[in-house]
Structure formats: C-alpha cells, structure tokens
Amino acid sequence: MKTIAIIATGGTIAGTGQIGKASAYRAGEIGMDEIIETIPMIKDMAHIQVHQIMNIDSNEMNNERWLLLMKTINKVAQDDEVDGIVVTHGTDTIEETAYFLTLTLHTLKPVVLTGAMRPATATSPDGPYNLYQAIALAGHPDAYDQGVMLLFSNTIYSARDIQKVNNYKIDAFDQKSFGCLGYMQDDQVYFFSKIFKKHTQHSLFSHMEIDHLPEVAIVYFYAGAHASMLYDLSQDHEGIVIAGSGNGNYDRSWLEAINDLSEKGIIFVRASRVIQGIVLSDEIFDPHHYCISANTLSPQKARILLMLALLHSHQREEIRKIFHQY
C-alpha cells in the first residue's frame, strides 16, 4: 500500500453547523482524524499520515501561512516513505494556495488539494468523497510530475488554471478555456492532458530560499475609478496588479498614473476582471510597455507570480519573461 500524507488546513471540509443543514456553518472546526473516521475505505487504500498544521477558514490564509505550508510539504515530501500528499483547504482561496505551491514546491511527488462546499455536518457532505478521490489520485503513478493539482467533484484540475466559478454549487471549479487535466470515477484515475507551464521542481522559485514575500496589491478598475488609488497603494507596495476591464484596460487618468509610477519603479501587471480570454500587450492602453501582461492568469494569481518574481528580480523585462514561462 502507498503512504499518503494529509496536510490539513481547515475549510468547509472541516466545517460544522446545524446537523443536516448546508448553510450557516463555521469552517475549520473539526480535526482531520475525525473526518477520516467517516471514510472507512481510506484505510484499505493507503497508509495515512496526518499533519494538522492549522484549522482555519481559508480567508485567513496569508503570506506567512503559505510559507509554513510550503515548508511543511517540502519536508514531508523528503520522507522516502511518503508517495503523495493531499492538502485539505477551504475553497475560497484554494486557487491562490494551489498556484503558490505549484510555483514553489521542490518535489515531483503528487500534491493534490481538495476541499468541500458543504460542511461535514450537512446531510450529504461532499468533502469525504473529494478526500477519498484526492488520496487515490495522490497515490497514482500518472499523477507524478503533473504540478500541484486540485481534485473536486470527480475532476482533476491544474493549480495554474483552476478558478472558483460558482459560490453556491458543489461543482464550484473550472479551468476556464483549458478544460481539465482529467477525470476520476471513484478511485480510478483518467488523465487526458498535461500542464505546459513551469511548475514545482522545474520552477525557478522552488530552488530559492523564501522567507518573506514582497507587498503586491490588486486594484479593480470600474467606470469612474479614481487614479488616486494607485498612488495610495504605491506608498507601501512594490507591485500592483490591475484587474482591468476587457483586455486589462482602464481610463486615461489611470494610464497617466501608471506611466508616472512605473518611472518611479513600481511594477504593474495588467490582468482582467473578465474571467475568460487573455490579456496581451496593448499599444493604446500601454504605449510605453510599462505593464506586464498577465496572459491568462486571474488578478489573484498574477499577484502571486509577481510577488515571487520580485524576489528574483526588479527588472521589468526579466519579470515579463517569467510571466511568459509560468
């Protein structure tokens, strides 16, 4: 039997509320040992190690907790007995954590994140089944060197492209235009595609000693948004990701502020508030090419890549290259 380490961080999968109901619950209330008790077949699938490193609602996730999680996984992955790792996590920020981990983990062993939309005390919680499938996936040979994955509702997703697209239904995730990596039926694994961008041990960041992350903010453009927000953020942030309209766009007052602040050393990334499509460089909205295009990364993922890129370099062209590779 394979050995799978479960790193538990909390979320709705560990949430409790009124018995039977799926609403008005608190995330991150019960421990992983208790959840495992509800899935007896796991004991026949793998030897399980449990590392309960926190028990939080994932909206409490932050840079320090990402670093703790990354270090814990790197340490656990070094254990020759461990074949794969499952991380349980709240769904609200799971996509950010997954992307951070796929950029920084120094292992090719399978790492699978999962969670739930219904708390453990709901009538038919989705967490136990997702966890069962995540364990099967983490122990499967085809899952090796796939980058960090997410397992949700019978579907295998890549950490880079996953996004929560529904805040109400159990089938809450999607990879936007890129389909998914594969499917599962119970514990059977079916891969159909592969991530093309750099990840885990192939990533430059997995070879760096990371003890802090620079301050990078996201600012949302809307009709009539004041450019003063950009100046305010530039006081204590090294980088700013713009969640622009359409192709990462904004009005002329923002363009002037971006030009001015870029000359003062702030690094800007243009992402889009639109969920599908690609943000490419644009002669009209960025005539001096000060901004780096987020390509298909959402603003929240572009922020993570920019934080890591700023640890490596402050050269705009070097960071632009990184955004093409990751």
Tokens of 100: 């951070």
The closest alpha carbon to 112, from 209, 184, 29, belongs to: 184
Nearer to ligand ASP, 114 or 293 (CB): 114
217 beta partners: 240
Amino acid identity, position 19:
I
Nearer to ligand ASP, 12 or 206 (CB): 12
Nearer to ligand ASP, 90 or 147 (CB): 90
Cα distance between residue 18 and residue 16, in whole Å: 7
Cα distance between residue 27 and residue 11, in whole Å: 5
Q: Helix, strand or coil for residue 287? A: coil
Among candidate residues 9, 12, 93, 114, the one labeled active-site is 12
12 has catalytic annotation? yes
Nearer to ligand ASP, 14 or 213 (CB): 14
Which residues contact ligand ASP (rule: CB under 6 A)?
Answer: 11-12, 27, 57-59, 90-92, 115, 117
**Residue 13 · residue 88 · CB < 8 Å:** yes
Spatial strand order of the sheet with 267-272 comes to: 216-220, 239-244, 267-272, 292-293
Cβ within 8 Å of residue 300, ≥6 positions away: 95, 96, 218
Tokens of 122: 């709901």
Cα distance between residue 111 and residue 108, in whole Å: 8
Nearer to ligand ASP, 17 or 115 (CB): 115
For ligand ASP, the nearest residue by Cβ is 90
The answer for 253, left when phi > 0, alpha when psi is -120 to 50, beta otherwise, is alpha
| Smallest distance from ligand ASP to CB 274, Å | 24
List active site positions.
12
